[in-house]
Amino acid sequence: MFRYPLLSAILLALSLSAATTVRAGVDRIPLRIEPEHIQVGLFYSGQNIVVRADVPAGYNVLLKVNGGTQKLDLKKKGKVLGFLWMNVGEVVYEDVPVLYIIRSSNKLADLAPANVLQQLGIGYDALKAKIVKTPGGEAGMLFGDLIKLKEGEGLFNVVEGGIGPAPMPGGREQIATGFLLPPKAPVGEYLVELYGFKDGAGTLLGSGSITLEQDHLIRFISSMVGHRALLYGCLSVMIAIVAGLLTGVIFGLGKGKAH
């Protein structure tokens, strides 16, 4: 480490800064997440989730929900011949969260300085810093469009100022907030984190998880699609033909003999 004194000094300064802006975790408080386990069945159309917790008084709070990350290979539209909008290339983003939901008691800018939020991965600016390696490049310039795309699917959603803590006896406050786990959220485990902010510093107050899994029928269909693809294709066609002919016969019977 001492071979690079300038680098060492910068790292030390950053560490000290982090120590003062992101506080060491206090005793973790339990989060009451309802429901924690969700089955994706044939009539699944997303799930409303409610998170409750009793937090020490005096904190501004923020709830962050995210899952694993994915690489996204997207098409980019641009002008051709100066007037035609067409797909003109591709943009690749690495480490894009599959889900990114934020609920907070205040505006993000009022909770803590930008560097603190960035360290905690809170807000779209923090996401951009994590995902985009060269901010001046194409991926950086189109980052706003990536957010719009994801927000359109309900997978990214940031609501600032929605949580109102209610006072409780014993110097604590109860918080409750909700969000929709959209139907496009892939199966898997999602991390739910509750942060507290005081005096410009952020603390992880508690965390929990949500598990999203397929039920037997959906798992069976997914397995057919992936592992018995040819059989699945043939069955799909056969059922379509039978349905088509059956309807034809029913309609034909209704009208008697065709001319």
Partner 1 sequence: MNLGIYLPVAGTSVNMFLLFGLGGIVGFLSGLFGVGGGFLLTPLLIIIGIPPTVAAASDSNQIVAASASGTYAHARGGTVDFKMGILLLIGGVIGGTLGVRLIHLLRSTGEANFVISVTYVIMLGSIGSYMFYDSLLGLFGKTLEKTSRGTHTGPSTYARILNVLPFKMEFTRSHVTLSAIIPLFLGGLVGILSAIMGVGGGFIMVPIMIYILRMPMHVVVGTSLFQILFTCINVTIMQAWMNHNVDFILALNLLFGSVIGAQVGAQVGKKLKTDQLKILLSLIVMVVMVKMLVDLLAAPDILLSYKGSH
Contacting residues toward partner 1, per CB under 8 A: 40-46, 73-78, 80, 83-88, 91, 142, 145-146, 148-149, 152-153, 183-184, 186, 214, 218, 221-222, 225-226, 229-230, 232-237, 239-241, 243-245, 247-249, 251-252, 258-259
Q: Would you say 82 or 170 has its CB closer to partner 1?
A: 82
Say which residue the tokens 């790292």 belong to: 11
Q: Would you say 2 or 83 has its CB closer to partner 1?
A: 83
Specify the amino acid at residue 2.
F
Residue 159 in tokens: 């609501």
Q: Would you say 191 or 224 has its CB closer to partner 1?
A: 224
Say which residue the tokens 């907070």 belong to: 104
Burial class (CB in 10 A: 0-12, 13-18, 19+), 181: buried
Q: Would you say 102 or 146 has its CB closer to partner 1?
A: 146
Q: Which backbone phi and psi does 146 adopt, to 5 degrees?
A: -65, -45
Residues, the chain: 259
The distance of closest approach from Cβ of residue 144 to partner 1 in the complex, given in angstroms and rounded to an integer, is 9
The distance of closest approach from Cβ of residue 122 to partner 1 in the complex, given in angstroms and rounded to an integer, is 23
The answer to whether 110 and 130 are in contact (CB under 8 A) is no
The distance of closest approach from Cβ of residue 185 to partner 1 in the complex, given in angstroms and rounded to an integer, is 9
The CA distance from 135 to 121, in Å, is: 17
State the DSSP H helix or E strand holding residue 150, giving kind and residue range, or none if neither: helix 143-152
Q: Would you say 46 or 162 has its CB closer to partner 1?
A: 46
The distance of closest approach from Cβ of residue 257 to partner 1 in the complex, given in angstroms and rounded to an integer, is 8
The distance of closest approach from Cβ of residue 81 to partner 1 in the complex, given in angstroms and rounded to an integer, is 9
Specify the amino acid at residue 234.
C
